[in-house]
Structure 1
């Protein structure tokens, strides 16, 4: 299509978030924006299961999670299947730079999340992201 919307690279997303209201808001905002939320989980064990069993285009994970493990462990599990990870957290540790595609700083709005996903989609399609949306940091991939 000459003037149609471009095809999204990111369609199927898993949310890993232990704050119920944030998880609920993200799930509904992403669904309303046309993404398929494959699963919303709050711990490493459930996230690892979803990553192994589902076809995913992106994992959104907080760094701090309930139970054993954290978002870094989620990112390692996703990396083993070549699934990009966007950290959504108040404070992204340096280790995240090697494990994720970027970080969206909390607090963020639905508009900020959608803009961040558009920027990630462009990056994943090999296009240069000219201006980063508010709150988003992108990392160079090794």
Structure 2
């Protein structure tokens, strides 16, 4: 379709962030960009419960959470259910490539966040994309073979 809107696979996003201002900003930025925010939460158990009952296209999660569990454990559980995770963190995890689709380093701008989600969407569709500054995309296990 010429001049049509491109196909999106990322429409519904779960935000898991324990910093209230960052969570609020992410929710508003992505909502204004046209994404449906399933929920914005700060607890591992709440996130796991939502992943189990709601259709989610992407989890945007910090690595450090207030609870005893981390975004790393959430990403592992989500991956087992076929839900990709994009880490948004100031504390990169060395083995993130094994469990996440990418990592967006804090601090990031509104534009970087929106571009990162768009790049993840295209990446999940198998397109080759040039990530914006601060975003690292990972190959999934199927792509590495």
Give the shorter-chain TM-score range. over 0.9
Paired residues in the alignment total 141
The aligned counterpart of 1:90 is: 90
The aligned counterpart of 2:117 is: 117
Q: In the alignment, is residue 58 of structure 1 matched against residue 88 of structure 2?
A: no
The aligned counterpart of 2:139 is: 140
> Distance in 2 between the 1:126 and 1:62 partners?
25
Deviation (angstroms), 1:132: 1.4
Deviations 1:21-68 (A, max 9, x none): 000000000000000000111011011001101100000000000112
Matches of residues 1-142 of structure 1 in structure 2 within 5 Å? 1-129=1-129, 131-142=130-141
Q: Secondary structure at the match of 2:14?
A: strand
Deviation (angstroms), 1:95: 2.0
After TM superposition, the score normalised by the length of structure 2 is 0.95
Deviation (angstroms), 1:96: 1.2
Deviation (angstroms), 1:138: 0.6
> Distance in 2 between the 1:20 and 1:58 partners?
20
Q: Secondary structure at the match of 2:4?
A: coil
In structure 1, the gaps of 5 or more residues are: none
After TM superposition, the score normalised by the length of structure 1 is 0.97
In structure 2, the gaps of 5 or more residues are: none
4+ runs deviating over 6 angstroms: none
